[in-house]
Structure 1
Amino acid sequence: MSDNTNLQVPDGVPVPRRYWAILAIGFGITVSVLDGVIANVALPAIAKDLHTNPSLSIWVVNAYQLAITISLLSLSSIGEIWGYRKVYTYGLLLFSCTSLACALSDSLSTLIIARTLQGFGAAAITSVNTALIRIIYPKRFLARGMGLNALVISVSAAAGPTIAAGILSVANWPWLFAINIPIGVTALLISYRFLPPNPIKIKGRRFDIEGGLLNAVTFALLIAIIEGFTHDINIYIILIIVTIAILTGYVYIKRETKQDYPLFPVDLLKIPIFSLSILASVFSFMSQMLAMVSLPFFLQRVLGKDEVATGLLLTPWPLATMIFAPLAGFLSDKIKAGMLGCIGMLIFATGLFLLATMPSNPSNIEIIWRMAICGCGFGLFQTPNNSTIIGSAPSSRSGGASGMLGTARLMGQTMGASLVALMFKLFPGHSMHVSLLLGCIISVVAAFISVLRVGNKI
């Protein structure tokens, strides 16, 4: 692999600029992750207000997630070529403008178009955020930076339904999108002023357009297959899509193996500790979504809780993550990442098992302390795992590592949510318990994968 680079790589940015830079990252990630989950709560209101079929309104969510999934790796590659700061700020600009378009939409079609474009903006933000963290923080503090990033992502994802319920209690659904505008503009101004440029420039490298198209088609087909299994699509249609996906994926991966800087980072996946960490990340987010999607149904439909009460009972999870994700950054200096990640996933699995086996009519306290255990374990795992993914990649491939980290999260969450839908069909009346037990098993698998990294060095 040829690599024309400038070897004078600064080790982080000085304080207080570092704090402003990480604040810009935090704002951008908050709104992009939040918008992936916040619209779910408003779908009934959106369908009613726009006079459309509730089943069609689901595309308000799907269009956003699909746009992110098919463009994430392409945008991380563009970040390595143009600069992470440029991709991040353009993403914030697009996200803020399309948030306004979403808020002003007067039909489902215009809302779906705006959400698709908003998804591309979110993908630009997500694709390079961890690559920027690698530049912002000195190497010795990278785990702390990744801990804060894991904290923001976890809290934003878990707190989404609560925030949505709070907004909808005082305003109508367009405000779910309008609230992004001041946050996005603030993040944009701070980013323009304080985010550092790429310290490494790769000369003569161009974006692989053909690879980008193959990447988009491959991941779109993967999402279609996952969704097909949970929405009663004819099995023959699914088999046709699977066949096309296999052929497209084969051509895509085969082509990427011949590239110096592959869009799908096959070069990075050859690094054992990187590939193990990515696999562990996929499984961790699968188990997270198995819990976070199934629990609200149990709390509302079985226990009769309202939306606000449900949000409050889910809150101990992100609160515990808020404490333990940064703590894991400090512990990473003393405990190997593979072992710390294993401990975190085993604690997480324990929390899921305790939730699955709690009494049929549990008190609020019985729910709260179990949720806190899950958040504790999830926070302990994410920080060392994400640090390993970014730290094990060469500096010139930080964008590829960042994109792959985001892709692992999205694929894990998509598969986890789809598995919940499948459990609803296979085990009516017991779907929450089965989903949590399945999440427990998957978490144990993630713990086993994590501990395999102990003998590998970054």
Structure 2
Amino acid sequence: MQAKLQNFHHYRWLIFCVVSLGTFMATLTSSIVNVGLPLITAAVNTDITTAQWVVTAYLLVITSLLPIMGRLGDIWGRRKVYGFGFIGFTAGSLLCGISASIGMLIGFRVIQAVGASALMANAMAIVTGNFPQSERGKVLGMIGAVVALGSLSGPSLGGVLVEHFGWHSIFFVNIPVGILGYAGVQLVLPVDRDLLAEPIDYLGAALFTAGMAGFLLALSNGTEWGWNSLNTMMSVGVAVIAFAAFIWHEKRISHPMLELSIFKNWAFSAGNLAGTLSFMAMFANTMLLPFFLHDVLAFPPGKIGLIMSTFPVVMAVTAPVSGTLSDKIGPVILTTSGLGLMALGLVLTASLHLDSKLWVIMAGQAVMGLGNGMFQSPNNNSVMSAVQPSQLGVAGGINALARNFGMVCGTAVAVSIFEYRRLAILSGIGQPTPLQQTAAFMTGYHNALIVGACLAGLGALVSFNRAKK
């Protein structure tokens, strides 16, 4: 069956479809959970700081495992690892769907994230390895559209499912997609040849994971623990020691988990830095907007899903066009302008108040979607084109690492700023009234989004200077 498919004239587009399923499923889960998070918080009797770990644990595990999963793809074969990714993600989704407590849900999200990391780490390398460089901008633009489609389906589908079937159902929706994707891996993806006969750097992977965990623990819990507390200082200390040991170790071995020399390429490094900043800015909005719409404006889940769909709808239209255009005019103008628009959209969203009209709320999301669509595809094209063909696998893994690191940091920074400002406003008030609580919420919300806008602006400066070294 597979031999017949390989003789098909458009075989590489079948490969693209299989990879797109994995990309769609991972992005669907990220966006669909954000819509259900306010109700999950209430249903399991927890708070926003704890509930954030439903999102953060997922992204943290993915971010920590991306380098080793990419390496396993080079050594074991990307087809095999991608198939394992579908199995792990689907099993994790089933377990999340039957969770009865916040602890179970966070734990099973870790299993789901292990599968997602295998999918994300190898998707870019599979696609770029089967498409000529002349079509790279177009295909990466189409991947951007798939990302947008997953994000689009998440809020709208999640709103309907949560409203009518409860929050457990938002995880069950992944199961048929996962089964279909695994079948596609077995039937379509080519068997890898010329695999690397190299050892796996397990120590490097462990050091990287420890450093990432320590850093994110401090960032996520600094407000609750106290920034000068022993727990925060210990987490930062673990992160610093682990990352220092990781860099020392990677420079000494012949087959490192992460090829550090690739960062000497400024165009590559600038693209990844700008990508990290863009996702930090984006996730300030993605994390907090559902709580503003649900807790302050009292919108039902279906309406929240409709509003949050605006961002990915506009992105889905923009991304393929900007990806194709980047092959002709280069990335600088598109990426810089895109991040500038994202900053503008975040400022508009930060200016929302209790009486804001629906079209004003959606306009801010549309501006951010336009900016993100203009940025992501040309930036990915720039990153992947900045390296040699033999480095595409490494480049794809680092690109995914930068993206997910930005998601984790953006979520943690947004919640930390939100909680710090909200608690500062309420300090000294024994029994705050609903009006005082709302005012405190809005202060924290506005401050977090303004910081997100500043991050997008910084990313625009980095992007503008990507070709100057």
CA contact (8 A) 1:84 1:399 kept: no
CA distance in 2, matches of 1:368, 1:108: 31
Cα distance 1:17–1:257, how it changes in 2: closer, same or farther (>3 A)? same
CA distance in 1, matches of 2:236, 2:467: 36
Letter in 2 for 1:349: A
Report the CA distance between 1:86 and its aligned residue: 1.5
**Residue in structure 2 matched with residue 25 of structure 1 by the alignment:** 19
**Which ranges in structure 2 are unaligned for 5 or more consecutive residues?**
1-5, 423-439
Report the CA distance between 1:60 and its aligned residue: 4.1
CA distance in 2, matches of 1:151, 1:258: 40
CA contact (8 A) 2:148 2:313 kept: no
CA distance in 1, matches of 2:267, 2:54: 37
**Residue in structure 1 matched with residue 431 of structure 2 by the alignment:** none
Q: 1:80 aligns with which of 71, 74, 88?
A: 74
**Residue in structure 1 matched with residue 334 of structure 2 by the alignment:** 340
**Residue in structure 1 matched with residue 200 of structure 2 by the alignment:** 207
Corresponding residue SS for 2:245: helix
Q: Which moved more, 1:318-327 or 1:83-92?
A: 83-92
Alignment of 1:97-108 (within 5 A): 97-105=91-99
Letter in 2 for 1:404: I
CA contact (8 A) 2:334 2:375 kept: yes
Q: Which moved more, 1:425-434 or 1:281-290?
A: 425-434
TM-score when scaled to structure 2? 0.86
CA distance in 2, matches of 1:303, 1:57: 20
CA distance in 2, matches of 1:107, 1:439: 31
Corresponding residue SS for 1:195: coil
**Residue in structure 2 matched with residue 131 of structure 1 by the alignment:** 125
Letter in 2 for 1:442: L
Corresponding residue SS for 1:176: helix
**Which ranges in structure 1 are unaligned for 5 or more consecutive residues?**
1-11
Cα distance 1:451–1:163, how it changes in 2: closer, same or farther (>3 A)? same
Letter in 2 for 1:226: L
CA contact (8 A) 1:73 1:407 kept: yes
**Given the alignment of the two structures, is residue 229 of structure 1 paired with residue 222 of structure 2, yes or no?**
yes
Report the CA distance between 1:122 and its aligned residue: 0.8
Report the CA distance between 1:287 and its aligned residue: 0.8
Alignment of 1:164-203 (within 5 A): 164-198=158-192, 201-202=195-196
**Given the alignment of the two structures, is residue 437 of structure 1 paired with residue 450 of structure 2, yes or no?**
yes
CA contact (8 A) 2:331 2:382 kept: yes
Report the CA distance between 1:107 and its aligned residue: 5.7
- Aligned CA-pair RMSD: 2.6
Cα distance 1:181–1:172, how it changes in 2: closer, same or farther (>3 A)? same
**Residue in structure 2 matched with residue 426 of structure 1 by the alignment:** 421
**Residue in structure 2 matched with residue 270 of structure 1 by the alignment:** 264
**Residue in structure 2 matched with residue 216 of structure 1 by the alignment:** 209
Q: Which moved more, 1:447-456 or 1:372-381?
A: 447-456
Q: 2:409 aligns with which of 397, 407, 415?
A: 415
Letter in 2 for 1:367: I
Letter in 2 for 1:448: L
Cα displacement string for residues 175-216 of structure 1 (whole angstroms, at most 9, x for unaligned residues): 2222211111111111222223446543x3121111121122
CA contact (8 A) 1:75 1:127 kept: yes
Letter in 2 for 1:210: L
CA contact (8 A) 2:70 2:118 kept: yes
TM-score when scaled to structure 1? 0.88
| Greater helix content | 2
Q: Percent identity?
A: 28
CA distance in 2, matches of 1:284, 1:76: 23
Alignment of 1:23-422 (within 5 A): 23-42=17-36, 53=46, 59-105=53-99, 110-157=104-151, 159-198=153-192, 201-202=195-196, 204-233=197-226, 235-357=229-351, 361-422=355-416
Corresponding residue SS for 1:430: helix
CA distance in 1, matches of 2:445, 2:99: 35
Report the CA distance between 1:246 and its aligned residue: 1.0
CA distance in 2, matches of 1:13, 1:287: 44
Report the CA distance between 1:259 and its aligned residue: 3.5
Cα distance 1:249–1:198, how it changes in 2: closer, same or farther (>3 A)? same
CA contact (8 A) 1:291 1:436 kept: yes
- The count of aligned residue pairs is 443
Report the CA distance between 1:370 and its aligned residue: 2.8
**Residue in structure 1 matched with residue 460 of structure 2 by the alignment:** 447
CA distance in 1, matches of 2:264, 2:8: 34
Cα displacement string for residues 65-118 of structure 1 (whole angstroms, at most 9, x for unaligned residues): 332122111111111112222211111122222323333445655544432222
Q: Which moved more, 1:325-334 or 1:395-404?
A: 395-404
CA distance in 1, matches of 2:290, 2:102: 26
CA contact (8 A) 2:319 2:374 kept: yes
CA contact (8 A) 2:163 2:302 kept: no
CA distance in 1, matches of 2:39, 2:354: 31
CA distance in 2, matches of 1:307, 1:155: 19
